[in-house]
Chains A and B, each alone.
Chain A
Amino acid sequence: ETGVTQSPTHLIKTRGQQVTLRCSSQSGHNTVSWYQQALGQGPQFIFQYYREEENGRGNFPPRFSGLQFPNYSSELNVNALELDDSALYLCASSPTSGSSGANVLTFGAGSRLTVL
């Protein structure tokens, strides 16, 4: 069983540029969530994708967008990068657990974005 894999692991961009981060979900998982983790802070929820549609979003502006593909992999796109976008971006996948609130998010190792 493969875990969650993310790419690239590290990247450097300049203000105003655009970035695309990629995530392959764990085998058997159909829901993908993205998180932003600034240095010294806990992960902050960006959005969740299920069946190729966004079905939950945190307090992030529209320049943060995403996609989910039929194989459940996902992309996070950030336009017009700002210095404060420098962070570790985490992808997490989970299965659909029906009516139970019990579920486990499996996280990838993250993509470290530095905006100069």
Chain B
Amino acid sequence: LAKTTQPISMDSYEGQEVNITCSHNNIATNDYITWYQQFPSQGPRFIIQGYKTKVTNEVASLFIPADRKSSTLSLPRVSLSDTAVYYCLVGDLRGGSGGSNYKLTFGKGTLLTVNP
């Protein structure tokens, strides 16, 4: 299972762009890269998912280089409400029997603090 490494914490200011990088040197062929956001005492919330190159949705962008050994979550123009823990998750997330016996490793995540 691919282990991920992310910074423990990051600080930013409202309106800035924030980039959080995750290293996953042992990523496997079937693995996808997924980022989650978690507020205190709540379950993680899906942000974005990708396999290679660049993915963009209404809240974030995900950049994945050709070797897929790292990925960068980009949050444009952060606000105070973006203060949360961000997790990089790498794995084969097939449901049902296709993903049997996988063990998803969240790690400790990155605590992003957005200041006024």
Most chain B Cβ neighbours within 10 Å, of A51, A57, A101, A104 = A101
A106 sits at the interface (CB 8 A):
yes
Count residues on chain B whose CB falls below 8 Å from chain A CBs: 32
Count residues on chain A whose CB falls below 8 Å from chain B CBs: 40
Q: Are A101 and B95 in contact (CB under 8 A)?
A: no
Q: For window 84-104 of chain B, which residues contact chain A by CB distance below 8 Å?
A: 87, 91-104
The answer for the CA separation of A100 and B34 in the assembled complex, in Å, is: 14
Q: Are A42 and B51 in contact (CB under 8 A)?
A: no
Q: Which residues of A contact B87 (CB under 8 A)?
A: 42
Q: Which residues of B contact A30 (CB under 8 A)?
A: 95-96
Contacting B96 at CB < 8 Å: which of A90, A96, A101?
A96
The chain B residue sitting closest to A6, CB to CB, is B43
Contact bitstring A78-116, B, C-beta under 8 A = 1, else 0: 000000000010101011111111111111111010000
A31 sits at the interface (CB 8 A):
yes
The chain A residue sitting closest to B93, CB to CB, is A103
A4 sits at the interface (CB 8 A):
yes
Q: Which residues of B contact A105 (CB under 8 A)?
A: 44, 46, 93, 104
Measured CB to CB, the residues of B under 8 A from A are: 30-32, 34, 41-46, 49, 51, 87, 91-109
